[in-house]
Amino acid sequence: MRHFDHIESRRRKHLFHRHPRAFDRHDDPAVLAVALGATLYSPAVRPALAEDVAKAARRGVTSMVLCLEDSIADEDVPAAEANLVAQLSRAHAAHAAGTDAPLLFVRVRTAEQIGDLACRLGEAAELVSGFVLPKFTAAGGDAFLEAVAEAQARTGHRLLAMPVIESQQAVYRETRSELLQDVARLLAKHRERVLAVRIGATDMSAAYGLRRPPDLTIYEIGPVAGVISDVVNILGRADGTGFVVTGPVWEYFSAGERMFKPQLRQSPFDAQQAAPLRQRLITSDLDGLIREVHLDKANGLIGKTVIHPSHVAAVHALSVVTHEEYCDASDILGWNGGGAMASVYANKMNEAKPHRAWAERLMLRAQVFGVAAEGVTFVELLEAAGGQ
């Protein structure tokens, strides 16, 4: 699969200075973690789940999570498991016949479900790239990770894990630091199996009886923003000990009453004669999503959990490396021995040593999301990718 492959080839040539590279579930996990992009969550109980997976792939979705946890009522879990097995078997048959499928992950409730589902899926387990491990702690996490390892040995297919930091111990200040450090030590022991760390902002908010409104970003919800900061601090370091940390869920897809002004400037859309696109984004509350993704990137998070296909284009368009960023990173990585120099765009100072880790991370994102052509804006990328 390849990001933006659903866009007509002639238009892609106009949009990209460097095109995104292809990837598949067998790629290096360091590449796949960045390539996840907008990870679309779907309840495993959906009766047309196989068709949903195929449709999502056609719309540019490259990763999905099929959920057996909080999106499923307790009494519906057996039915959801049976539906998941049946639908993945259908999707696997369609994939064998040439139908595209995103990277698929299953969000389980218990460690025992991992082995049980791997057995029940049979050959269809080939379509599963891994498991999402909810409310992850060091105390219970080892059982989850061992279950993933055992399922891999049983199926013969590589299976990766994405632990979710969302437990109350991770949220409350008096237990947070110790828990995150314990989690870091546990994940280090299983590094080859950990694809990325996900942030469960809904559960974090629930610990305080909060819910983020659509006209505020998660970074304006102080108690939760503090948790995200600590997760990145301990689990997202750029010194070789950290992991890719993905952005928290955006859970709105239809606008209600607005208290604040729209969060998208008008001039970039006017310059591309795309004022109707801006209005559609605002009407669907996607201006809030766009701002939050921008803040995710600034705070060291890559990719995002989403709950509606209309969110995907915005996340992916913002994941493309700009021509200016690419020029800066190329210059920084080309210098030896340190030093500073004005950027090619003559608007900032690039320092070889302190900016190197940023440049290395950006070049990995450039591989899978591409580099925009000079002068191509986010607005053009969003419109081409299918912005609402």
Q: What's the Cα-to-Cα distance from 94 to each of 13, 90, 101, 241, 359, rounded to whole Å? A: 30, 6, 9, 39, 40
Alpha-carbon gap, residue 268 to 376, rounded angstroms: 11
The pLDDT value given to residue 385: 87
Q: What is the pLDDT of residues 132-160, one digit of tens each?
A: 999 999 999 999 999 999 999 999 999 99
The pLDDT value given to residue 7: 94
Paired with 266 in beta bridges are none
CA torsion 292-229-193-90 (nearest 10°) is -30
Alpha-carbon gap, residue 259 to 153, rounded angstroms: 53
The pLDDT value given to residue 378: 86
Q: Is the pLDDT of residue 250 over 80?
A: yes
Cβ atoms of residues 150 and 143 within 8 Å: no
pLDDT band at 281 (very low <50, low <70, confident <90, very high): low
β 103-107/63-67 pair status: parallel
Comparing CA positions, the residue from 312, 274, 319, 334 lying closest to residue 16 is: 319
Output 255 or 338, whichever has higher pLDDT.
338
Cβ atoms of residues 63 and 311 within 8 Å: no
Q: What is the pLDDT of residues 19-35, one digit of tens each?
A: 999 999 999 999 999 99
Alpha-carbon gap, residue 325 to 329, rounded angstroms: 6
Q: Which residues of 20-59 are buried (b: 16+ CB within 10 A; e: fewer)?
A: beebebeeebeebbbbbbbbbbbbbbbeebbebbbebbee
Phi, psi of 365 (to 5 degrees): -65, -35
- Number of neighbouring beta carbons within 10 Å of residue 125: 23
β 16-18/371-372 pair status: antiparallel
Q: What's the Cα-to-Cα distance from 205 to each of 136, 137, 159, 164, 301, rounded to whole Å? A: 16, 18, 30, 14, 18
pLDDT band at 182 (very low <50, low <70, confident <90, very high): very high
Q: What's the Cα-to-Cα distance from 382 to each of 148, 269, 280, rounded to whole Å? A: 37, 11, 12
This prediction has a pTM of: 0.92
The pLDDT value given to residue 69: 96
Report helix, strand or coil for 3: coil
Comparing CA positions, the residue from 183, 167, 196 lying closest to residue 65 is: 196
Q: Is the pLDDT of residue 266 over 80?
A: no
pLDDT band at 280 (very low <50, low <70, confident <90, very high): low
Q: What is the pLDDT of residues 307-317, one digit of tens each?
A: 999 899 999 99
pLDDT band at 372 (very low <50, low <70, confident <90, very high): very high
Decide if domain 36-319 falls under CATH 3.40.50.300. no
Cβ atoms of residues 219 and 225 within 8 Å: yes
Domain ranges of the chain: 1-22+320-383, 36-319
Output 66 or 387, whichever has higher pLDDT.
66
